[in-house]
Amino acid sequence: METSLMIVIPTYDKAADIEGCLSNILTSLSLSRFWEILVSDDFLLIVQN
């Protein structure tokens, strides 16, 4: 089976918002199609003492 739709979600430090975003996308998708979702979070936490 080939992917007929790929959704790429680039984000930066938005982990709290991803669930709502994915929920909205999933309710909009047709379940009969083959799809893929890629979430890329470009956040790096540097802890200094």
pLDDT digits (tens, 9 = 90+) for 8-45: 999 888 878 888 999 998 888 876 678 888 888 887 66
- What's residue 15's pLDDT? 78
| Chain CA centroid to CA 49, Å | 33
Report how far residue 13's alpha carbon sits from residue 39's, in angstroms, rounded to the nearest whole number: 12
Residue 6 forms beta bridges with which residues? 36
Confidence grade of residue 46 (pLDDT, cut at 50, 70, 90): low
Higher-scoring residue by pLDDT: 30, 3: 30
pTM of the model as a whole: 0.65
